[in-house]
Structure 1
Amino acid sequence: QHLGNWLYVFLFCLGVFQTETTSVTGTVGGSVTITCSHSYATTNVKYFCKGTCVDADVLIKSSTQREGKYSIKDNGNTFYVTISNLEMSDGGVYWCGIERVGVDTYGKVTLTVEASLNRVCFVSKACDEIWSMKTCQSFPFAFCNRESRKQPEDDGF
């Protein structure tokens, strides 16, 4: 029976200290909002860190709503961290932390930052001599509007 009590305590602690891994993807220049959920954390201090998560790695705490590119919103057992103006160097492993008596609990977050697909808009002068051409896509793609085609003497086609 003594072993049964310890098993109950172990299973309870496993539920309290359990960590989940969340994967988030953002683009350079954009922002991401990460949802961190923990049990029994309504009044606890929440924090967000990168790396080993020692004090120097803490990027923001719930006691400070904004710190540079990081902002945090505490909603009891769930808190939200937004990272703005993403850079490639922001990618990596982060931790959602909860201050606890004894041992803090963590949730693992993997952030992937992808290069921005900037919209490319340009007018081709070579094509514009024959047709009016404008490209405005996520990738270079020629679009020539035949209705506004000029009538050169010899268009080579």
Structure 2
Amino acid sequence: MESADETDRPAFQPVFENRVRFAETDQQGIVFYGEYFTFQDETVSQFFREIDYSYERMEADGWQVHVVNTELNYRDAAEFGDVLVNELRVAEMGTASITFEYRARRKSDDRLLADGSVTQVAVDLETEEPIAVPDAFREAVAAFQGGLETAD
């Protein structure tokens, strides 16, 4: 059941699926914890494509994003061959920052495997100084997932 706070937030969107490869597992036969950061990153990249705002479009518009923080919580183990559904939502957007919330679930039983967040800062492509997240990006996110919180 969702909390009252959760019902006011945009829903998670399933944006990336992957099958666990043998190379992503450790000696115990489960996904090595560091691989979830790669899954998280792939999910953010796919989210950008889903909202029609790829990295290439960012660069053409004169900006890019830099990761400034990432967190992951490990809830259960995934094994070789499992199909993972990676979900994402923009939870908060500040003047220059974008905070994504991430979840990975096993497709066969919908079990939550990992969740967390990643915060990125919009920067000018040439100076690499923080800039305001462009309105076109904000509008693309809102069109894809609905409303979101803003932060200063």
Report the TM-score when normalising by structure 2.
Answer: 0.21
Report the TM-score when normalising by structure 1.
Answer: 0.21
Larger Rg: 1
Considering Cα pairs closer than 8 Å and 6+ residues apart, tell me whether 1 or 2 has the greater RCO. Answer: 2
In proportion to residue count, which structure has more helix? 2
